[in-house]
């Protein structure tokens, strides 16, 4: 049987309620997946002192065009030549081997913390993680599953369509579609631990138990839906093909949160598969 490898990318800055819970969620994942025969590897970004900022230091040796430095193009050349910095290539090696990626973090300002975003910016380089020819449903990581697991400071009701923070599906679209799906990952529904600082201890225990149960069957989960590349016309600026638009013209909801055709957003498109 093929070895099952899970890579957990973890963000813990200091031990407060949110971060200690993220650590606990990581420990549950390690425990449950290891018991099922997974090899679980963890990247604790703060412990690694992972650099969040993209710079010319990410490239070993001279860059091609120092006067007009273009990070994506320069790192692609460096990746092809084996001249990316060791911290980047180390993470890339681990990522390539994984069957499942769990990105564990406390939500900051409606997105991932800076160091986690830096990991995405620096590790998911052009050429290695995506290209013009290999992206989205035809992406490089189309055989790999990935999921976000995170804590929030707000209650679930505040992240609803009628809530002050807006629909959580809209919040997640840039991360899940613009980063994970863009690189080809099969994106599993997120694991969200709501309002950690506003709930009693027993409720936090219940959340971890739910996470424990989910991980026991995570291998069989179906990914979220994103419109595949063949729905779009490359020659017309990657617009939906007329036949696809016509097929959905009479439907109440759009295709996805982002590709919604001016219609109502499909319910929980970024939360659950098949909804």
Domain boundaries, the chain: 4-222, 225-275
SS3 226: coil
Report pTM. 0.93
Q: Could you tell me where the beta strands, DSSP code E, fall in 75-118?
A: 100-106
Q: Which residues of the chain have pLDDT under 50?
A: 1, 15
Determine the Cα–Cα distance for residues 30 and 41; give it in Å rounded to an integer.
8
Element (H, E) at 72: helix 71-81
The predicted pLDDT at position 1 comes to: 41
The predicted pLDDT at position 94 comes to: 93
Q: Which CATH superfamily is domain 4-222 in?
A: Flavodoxin domain (3.40.50.360)
The model's pLDDT over 39-68, given as tens digits with 9 standing for 90+, comes to: 999 999 998 999 999 999 999 999 998 889
Interior CA angle at 41 toward 40 and 45, to 5°? 140
Measured from the Cβ of residue 140, the count of other Cβ atoms closer than 10 Å reads 19
């Amino acid at each position: 049987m093929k070895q099952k490898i899970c890579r957990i990318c973890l963000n813990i800055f200091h031990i407060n309620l949110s971060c200690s819970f993220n650590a606990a969620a990581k420990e549950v994942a390690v425990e449950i997946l290891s018991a099922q025969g997974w090899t679980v590897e963890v990247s604790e970004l703060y412990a690694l002192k992972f650099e969040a900022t993209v710079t010319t230091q990410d490239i070993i040796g001279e860059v091609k065009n120092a006067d007009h430095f273009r990070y994506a193009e320069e790192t692609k050349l460096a990746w092809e030549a084996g001249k990316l910095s060791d911290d980047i290539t180390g993470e890339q090696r681990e990522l390539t081997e994984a069957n499942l990626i769990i990105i564990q973090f406390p939500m900051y300002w409606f997105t991932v913390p800076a160091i986690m975003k830096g990991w995405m910016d620096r590790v998911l380089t052009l050429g290695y993680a995506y290209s013009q020819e290999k992206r989205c449903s035809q992406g490089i990581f189309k055989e790999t599953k990935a999921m976000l697991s995170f804590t929030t400071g707000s209650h679930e009701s505040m992240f609803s369509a009628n809530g002050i923070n807006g629909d959580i599906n809209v919040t997640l679209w840039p991360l899940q579609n613009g980063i994970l799906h863009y690189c080809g990952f099969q994106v599993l529904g997120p694991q969200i631990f709501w309002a950690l600082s506003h709930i009693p201890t027993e409720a936090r225990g219940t959340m971890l138990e739910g996470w424990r149960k989910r991980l026991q069957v995570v291998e069989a989960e179906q990914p979220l839906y994103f419109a595949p590349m063949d729905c779009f016309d490359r020659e017309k600026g990657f617009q939906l093909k007329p036949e696809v638009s016509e097929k959905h013209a009479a439907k109440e909801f759009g295709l996805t949160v982002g590709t919604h055709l001016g219609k109502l957003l499909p319910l929980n498109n970024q939360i659950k598969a098949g909804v």
